[in-house]
Amino acid sequence: MNDRSTTSRNHPSIWDKEHFSITIGSILAFTIIAFQGLALATIAPVLAEDIGGRNLYGWIFSAFLLPQIVGTVYAGREVDRHSPARVFLIHLVFFTLGCIVAGAAPSISWLFLGRAIQGFGAGGIASCVYAVVSSAYEDKLRPAILAATSAAWVVPSLIGPAIAGFVAEQWSWRWAFFGLIPILLAIAPLTLPSYARIKPHNLTAKADRRLQLAIVLAIATGLFLAGLEIRPWIAGAAVAAMGLGGLITTLTRLLPEGTFTARPVMPAAILARGLGLGGFAVVETYLIFSLKDFGGVSATRVGLILTVTSILWTVGSWLQSRWDRATGPAHRPRRLATGFALVFAAALGIFLCVAILQEIWLWAGLVGWGIAGIGIGLAYPTAVSIAFVNAPAGMEGKVSSSMILIDLFAFSIGVGLGGVLLAFAESTGRSTELGAALAMSLGVAMLALAVVAGLRTRHLPVTSPSPSG
C-alpha cells in the first residue's frame, strides 16, 4: 500500500468525507462478526439438540476457530499484494456462503462445514479491516477508529443474544444465520469503493510459506483442543502436547521475530495484546462459571456482567482515543501498561475471592469486571496503535494478521488449559471452587506478563512516521 501524503486539513476526522464510508463499513464488518459470535453462543444448545450435535458441542465453536486462523493469514498475505477491496470481497463472499450453508444444514456435519466457511471469511474480514485501518488513517486518527470499531461490540452484546433467542424460539435457529445476509450485502457498497483506492505493495516474499504454516497451525490447534477432550487422560495429554508443540513451532515462524521475548517495540505490543486478551478471556470465562455454579447467580443476571463489561470496554476505548489526542504517541506505552494493570488488579481480586473465601457474589463480578472492562478498553486498541506505528512499510497485512493470530492462540490455549485445571481439580476430589481458582490463576499470570510486555514498548518514538494508504 503506497504512502500517501499527510492530509492538509486542519482537523481530520474518521467521519469526514474522505474516511466516512471506510469508517461505517469497518464498524459494520466487526458488528457482523460480533453478532454471529454472540448469537451462536445463545442458540448453540437449541441447534445441537435439533440436529444431533450434543456430543460434539464444543466443535460447533472450534469449527469456526480453526479456519479463521487460515483466513487471517491468507488475507494478511493478500492485502499486502492485492487491492484490499478484492481481498475483502472474497472473504465477505465466504462469510455469506457460510451463513447459507450453516442455516440450511440438515446435519451436524453440514453445520460444521458452514461454520468452517464462515470462520475463513471472518478471519479474512478482520485481518483486512485492520490492514486498512493502518493504511487509510493517519496515526493520530487510528485511536479514534479503533475506539469506533470497539463500539461495534456494544449493540450486539445488548441485543444479539436476546434477538437470537427470540428468533430461535419463535421461528428457527436457522434464521440466526440467514438474518445476517442482508447486513452482509449492505457492507459491500459501503466499503469496496473506498478500499479500492488503497494500492497494494505487491509483496511476494515468503507468502506461500506463511499460508502453509497457517494450515499447520490450524491442524495443531485442532489436535490440542481434541486432546483436551480425549480420555483416558494420558492419551489426551499426548495428543494435546503434540498439538501444543505444533502451535509453538508454527507461531514462532508466523509472528514477527522477537514476539515471544517481547522485543521492543512492535513485537512487545503484539505480545502484550495477545496475553492481555487471553488473560481477560480466561478470568471472565471462569468468573461466569463460578457465578453460575457455586455463586447462586441466574443466567440472566450473569448476562448483566457481560453487558456491563462490553459497555465499559467501549468507554475505555473512547477514553484511550481522547487520551491519545491530548498527549500523542509518547504516552501510549504508559496507557497500555495502565490498562492491563487495571485488568490484572481486577482479575487478582476476583481470584483471591474465589481462592481464599471460596465464594463469589454478583456485586463483586460487576464491580471487578467493570474495572477490567475499562482497562481492556484502554489497552487493547492502544496495542494496535503502537504496533502499526512501528510496522515496517508495506507490512500492514502481516502485522494485522499477527495480532489476530496471537489473539486466537492466547484465547484458545488459555481457556482450554483453564478447563484442564478445573477438570483436574474435580477429578482428584478437590472442590469446584479450588478448580475455578486454579483456572483463574492462569489468566492472572497471563495478565501480569501482559503488563511487563506493555512496559517493553516504552521506547516508542514521539513522532510517528507518515502513514501509508
Structural Rg of the chain based on CA atoms? 21
Whole-number pLDDT of residue 56: 64
* Mean pLDDT within 202-224: 75
Whole-number Å distance between alpha carbons of 117 and 120:
5
Please, which pLDDT band fits residue 7 given cuts at 50, 70 and 90?
Answer: very low
Whole-number pLDDT of residue 37: 76
Torsion of CA 466, 28, 68, 59, to 10 degrees: 150
Whole-number Å distance between alpha carbons of 174 and 391:
42
Domain spans of the chain, in order of start: 11-204, 206-254, 258-462
Task: Answer yes or no: same fold for 11-204 and 258-462.
Answer: yes
Confirm or reject CATH 1.20.1250.20 for domain 11-204, answering yes or no. yes
Whole-number pLDDT of residue 192: 84
Q: For residue 246, give the 3-state DSSP assignment.
A: helix
Q: Residues of the chain with pLDDT > 70: what percent?
A: 86
The CATH superfamily holding the domain 258-462 is MFS general substrate transporter like domains (1.20.1250.20)
Q: For residue 399, give the 3-state DSSP assignment.
A: helix
**114-123, 294-303, 343-352: least confident range:** 294-303
* C-alpha to C-alpha distances, 351 to 106, 368, 387, 410, nearest whole angstrom: 43, 11, 31, 19
Per-residue pLDDT at 217 exceeds 90? no
Give me the helices (H) in 52-180, please.
Answer: 59-78, 84-103, 108-136, 142-151, 154-170, 175-178
Higher pLDDT, 371 or 199: 371
The C-alpha cell at 149 is 470499531
- CB 110, CB 53: distance < 8 Å: no
Whole-number Å distance between alpha carbons of 417 and 420:
5
Whole-number pLDDT of residue 396: 67
Please, which pLDDT band fits residue 171 given cuts at 50, 70 and 90?
Answer: confident
Residues 6 or more apart whose CB falls under 8 angstroms from that of 192 comprise 85, 88, 89
Whole-number pLDDT of residue 6: 42
Whole-number pLDDT of residue 435: 86
Whole-number pLDDT of residue 8: 41
- pLDDT tens readout for residues 95-133: 999 999 988 988 888 988 999 999 999 999 988 888 888
The model carries a pTM of: 0.75
Instruction: Please compute, for residue 370, the number of CA atoms within 13 A of its CA located in the half-sphere on the CB side.
Output: 10
| Phi, psi angles (nearest 5°) of residue 196 | -65, -20
Give 331's DSSP letter: G
Per-residue pLDDT at 319 exceeds 50? yes
Whole-number Å distance between alpha carbons of 22 and 84:
12
Give 232's DSSP letter: S
